[in-house]
Structure 1
Amino acid sequence: MATVGKSYIYIPETVDTSYISIPDNLRELAEECPDREAVIFCSLDGDRCSITYSQLYTKAELFAKRMLAYGFERGSIIAVANINKPEWLICTFGLQMAGLVPLHFAFARESPNNVVNLLNGVGNCVAIILDSSDIGVSKQFVEKMENNGKAVSTKIPTLKYIFPMNSFIGEEHLTDEQIPSGSDLPYITADDVCGIFLTSGSSGMAKAVPMTHRRMIEMGVHWGKLLDVKPGEKFYNDKPFSWQGSYPTIWLATKGSRVTATDIYAMKSIEEINDFTLRVLESESCVSAFLLTPCISDLISRKETNVHVFPLRTICTAGLPVDSFCANVIGKTANKFAVAYGCTEIGFMCSAIVNSNEYENYYVGHPLPGTEIKIVDEKEHIVPKGTTGEIYARLRYRFLGYLNAKEKAEQCCDKTGWYKTDDVGYVKQDNSVVVTGRKSDTMVIGGALVSPSYIEGILRTHASVANVYICPVHDRQTFQHGCAAIVLKKNKTVTGEELVHFLTKEKGKYSESFLATLHVPKTFLFFESFPTTHSGKLDRKALKDEITRRLQKMD
């Protein structure tokens, strides 16, 4: 349904998803196909392990009973570090079974101060579950830690326990207390919160978004349709489990097997990621794959095609505006190319499945069933079709707000439920949508949202930097990359290479990986001073023009 001539679309609800919780969904599959591999884990060194539907349900149920023995109140928040290992699945499903709420966060890539601010902002976080290698880092905000997991932190007053994730796999005890019987597990409804997901943190602090079981199950159904995976078939996705486009409800919906990488953040280049991906696609006989556009571009540019791998049934992507170049996977690498569009706050909104190379730049297809889309101008008036404006979206599942930034939630969602995406685009005559970029200064780099001011803030702390301006530059592979304009302090020197090192070390132990360096500018230009307006403020237009001139001269 659409308003004639206006950029408003409503697609009636047609998808009938079961009113069921995620643990109950897992239980049904554990009974239907107990020995089917739910997830297959592959590592860079060639190791392979897997967990079946039955094993996952049994271990998660045991973990849920153990967690209840600690006396955590229903609805308490347990922070779970993102890591693609069986332990993460067991912890997440187990917490959901116990009526607890997992908060998914990238502990290994956060500073201790950010962890403290995040958990205090969310509130009611009573425990953290970490990879064993990160337990030592937690001592920077925990004064006391006992062998049974009990912890004391004056910086996070609600925190009572810190657990190593891998201790939940074996039969070793988590507590000496009696484990409750199965009948003591609480009843979980489809409308309960299944987890808390974090936004990109492009401004430096991620915002926390709660999602219900039913919403995540419905998104899993839509993702499954895009990937076109049938029961028992395998598909590849190396993204973190906690990302909505990578969440377990996708393989629950398909009744298939997901193949993933355990150490994606250890890979230092697109080429290394794709070399690994190709090996796994062949060894596991995957029928479809989810890949980010930088990886798709690299596959297209490779002269040789592995006939034992390609063409896949579908290659799916999401996370950033997609260049039409990526549609060249069709025929050579895949039979179909699928694009998804959404955001953490409200999830999956639009999708497109194409089977020809005639794909328009940044096209995201039609809204999903139950979705309203409108394009508005600065006065929030709906614009005519074909006119660019900000994209607003409204779904049956309303945005539940940010747990740690309520005032920001009010700014991005009005009283009638329209969510302001901060994305810019337009509606075509056939009621499909094209997303052309961001309204704010946020850059979109390789699927990640990166704030220029965030990068500028880090660079300004360098002893040699007097002023800095980050300018987004178009990039066919990653959509955009940053160009850093630098003014040095008097009698100070520094090279672009040194500034790259300065920025990357902010990402801790994964600082050299490709995914950790997306925020690092590709180009550094040095200026004696920046142009200013008559009032003394930075003349952004003049500076951008000069940056463009210099870059064109370098080409």
Structure 2
Amino acid sequence: MADVKNQSYGCTVDTLNVPFTTFPKLLEKWATLKPESEAFVFYTFGKPKTSISFGKLYQDALKLAKGLRRLGINKGDIVAIAGFNTPEWLVSTYASQLVGVRPLFFTLHDKKGENMTGIIKQVGGCKMIIFDPGNDDLHWKISQKFLTVDPSNGAVKKSDIPSVEWVLLMTPLESTEKCFTINDVAFEEDTSLPELDPADIAAILQTSGSTGFPKAVECSHYRLLQTAFHFTYLSEWNDPKKDGEFVFFNDRPFYWLGGFPCLSLATGGKHVTQTNTLVFTSIAEIVKFNSQIVQNEKIPYGLFVTPFLLELLMLEDFSWKFRSVITGGQPVPASCLSAIGKMYDTLGVLYGSSEAALNCGKTYHTSSERYVGMAALPGVEMKIVGNNGMIVPVGTKGELYIRNVTAAFRGYINEPEKTAAVISSSGWYKTDDFAHINSEGCVEIHGRVSDLLEIGGAKVLPSFIEEIIKKNPAVKEVVVFAVKDIKHADDIACAAVVLKNEATLTAESLTEFIKEELKFSEDAKFLQYIYVPKRILFLDNLPKTATGKNDRMKTREISLPHLKD
């Protein structure tokens, strides 16, 4: 009989007191209790900071919601929303939630408009599009390729996207061209708004797209509120009377799960953010501006994706100390613990996805603690499964499965085959992440299952090679990917490397460094063939997904022309 205690399964007896309510109810609550208090603070590089209070946010959202109802927008409709982290984005989102529509969040990152048309067509049934016109009206100009809109009322005359009836801009155009904005729709007279249930859809988010075209995931009010309370759980914030106001910094886009504006409504606290991190050309530039914001606002709590936190740790002129920092987004090196007591009192390590929300995490309190990974968060189960689909013993590597007991992932919209591929018959979400559960009952993530390289009969995780290369003091970032050796039907490991400022390194010297770090014996030289990249190239920066992760597919794509010789 198998030893049940030795199985790779984890859960926690901790519970969270997540209120069973909706975002409009919470916004109304704080607008009543503290109408003049800042709910969100916005920093834009080169411009003065701005903010919006709970009272103004609620009143503006309420007026827009009434205007949307007058245009025939009803509960259950889909309204697509895109823009930067701005008050207008928030007003558009909370107004849509007040009406009970399903807000679909999309991005405007390409000049062809495929970000807009692709996901909206995939989801289908979109009745209205609200978006930021962009600097120099760029987004508006792009939309004209597939939309013709009556500037006097926002009605769609012609569209390549079926079902779209209305288009609203968040702000007026910079040109003198007439357009219809959310302010033109706002209506103050009495208008009935529907009753909402916490199980209603509050957002349709896109997956990160790190492994292909983004997919659409529905999130209820309760599911997103659970996400907010998982943040406060890892930050060890419980009570404003005891712990003070929950003032936190998070530069992630609002349309990303990790940046979704739910924490200030859940806690009555303040969310400080950048309007658009994508305007910068490097992580160093983004983090430099982040550091200025944090020190200006004296922020006690912060969320930073791991590459940004590592960059922050290298800043010599950063003197602020957080009460708590949370990091995640990709495997977290144990070196992040070294700053506990110096840059932050505690470090929360977090794991999650658009599909399974936030599901694993652990708070570390001292720099002397041994990094042991993450435990299941309240309301979540986790297990490690082998190739045969069965749970494996503790310490054995396999694929991480997650099941959220109270807010389970139901699948991708209009993607039945992809849904079936990632959800088991008993409701477990297959994360595609390679991991193991250790003797501490914590999970350690090693990389994506689908990223595995097959070299010389061995299966190799790119993240393993990446961690070796990142030990070189000249290396800032690295992505390892495969190209095919046609002759042997084998993968060839290649590394795209970004060096730190003013650092110098050659492919030959880095190769020798990797060999030295691996320290294979003379009778195991073949392991060098497996683990040492055959091709190393140096880039100025690495492409990122919409959520800030290194994009392995794009890196490979831009690297291939340099590897042909």
TM-score of Structure 1 vs Structure 2, range by shorter chain: 0.7 to 0.9
Change in Cα spacing, 1:113 to 1:260, as seen in structure 2 (3 Å) is closer
1:220 matched to which residue of 2?
228
Gaps of 5+ in 2: 173-178, 453-461, 471-476, 484-490, 501-506, 508-536
Counterpart code for 1:384: P
Matches within 5 A, 1:192-211: 192-211=200-219
Give per-residue Cα distances to partners, 1:295-345, cap 9 Å, x unaligned: 222222234442xx2x21111111111011122221221111111111110
1:459 matched to which residue of 2?
none
Secondary structure of the residue aligned to 1:205 is: coil
Please, which moves more after superposition, 137-146 or 41-50? 137-146
Secondary structure of the residue aligned to 2:5 is: coil
In 2, are the aligned partners of 1:340 and 1:352 still within 8 Å (CA)? Answer: yes
Q: 1:141 aligns with which of 146, 154, 157?
A: 146
1:181 matched to which residue of 2?
190
Counterpart code for 1:216: L
Q: Distance in 1 between matches of 2:226 and 2:330?
A: 22
1:106 matched to which residue of 2?
107
2:376 matched to which residue of 1?
367
Counterpart code for 2:273: T
The answer to whether structure 1 residue 384 and structure 2 residue 384 are counterparts is no
**How far 1:286 sits from its partner (Å)?**
0.7
**How far 1:237 sits from its partner (Å)?**
0.8
Matches within 5 A, 1:309-320: 309=320, 311-320=321-330
1:533 matched to which residue of 2?
none
Q: Distance in 2 between matches of 1:470 and 1:216?
A: 39
Q: Distance in 2 between matches of 1:364 and 1:525?
A: 38
Gaps of 5+ in 1: 457-467, 478-482, 484-495, 530-555
Q: Distance in 2 between matches of 1:305 and 1:164?
A: 39
Secondary structure of the residue aligned to 2:324 is: strand
Q: Distance in 2 between matches of 1:516 and 1:81?
A: 22
Task: Count the aligned residue pairs.
Answer: 484
Counterpart code for 1:323: P
Give per-residue Cα distances to partners, 1:192-223, cap 9 Å, x unaligned: 00010000123442100001001111111111
The answer to whether structure 1 residue 279 and structure 2 residue 292 are counterparts is yes
2:262 matched to which residue of 1?
249
Q: 1:322 aligns with which of 323, 327, 332?
A: 332
Q: Distance in 1 between matches of 2:498 and 2:426?
A: 37
Secondary structure of the residue aligned to 1:294 is: helix
Change in Cα spacing, 1:58 to 1:170, as seen in structure 2 (3 Å) is farther
1:398 matched to which residue of 2?
408
Secondary structure of the residue aligned to 1:281 is: helix
Counterpart code for 1:164: L
Please, which moves more after superposition, 222-231 or 286-295? 222-231
Change in Cα spacing, 1:169 to 1:429, as seen in structure 2 (3 Å) is farther
**How far 1:524 sits from its partner (Å)?**
6.9
Q: Distance in 1 between matches of 2:78 and 2:298?
A: 38
Counterpart code for 1:193: I
Q: Distance in 2 between matches of 1:514 and 1:370?
A: 27
Q: Percent identity?
A: 29
Matches within 5 A, 1:146-165: 146-165=151-170
Change in Cα spacing, 1:170 to 1:286, as seen in structure 2 (3 Å) is farther
Change in Cα spacing, 1:528 to 1:92, as seen in structure 2 (3 Å) is closer
Give per-residue Cα distances to partners, 1:422-478, cap 9 Å, x unaligned: 0111111121111111100287899x9x9969xx9xxxxxxxxxxx9884679999x
Counterpart code for 1:287: P
Give per-residue Cα distances to partners, 1:504-537, cap 9 Å, x unaligned: 7x99xx9xx99898844697785567xxxxxxxx
In 2, are the aligned partners of 1:132 and 1:165 still within 8 Å (CA)? Answer: yes
Counterpart code for 2:291: L
Counterpart code for 2:328: A
In 1, are the aligned partners of 2:398 and 2:434 still within 8 Å (CA)? Answer: yes
Q: Distance in 1 between matches of 2:409 and 2:331?
A: 23
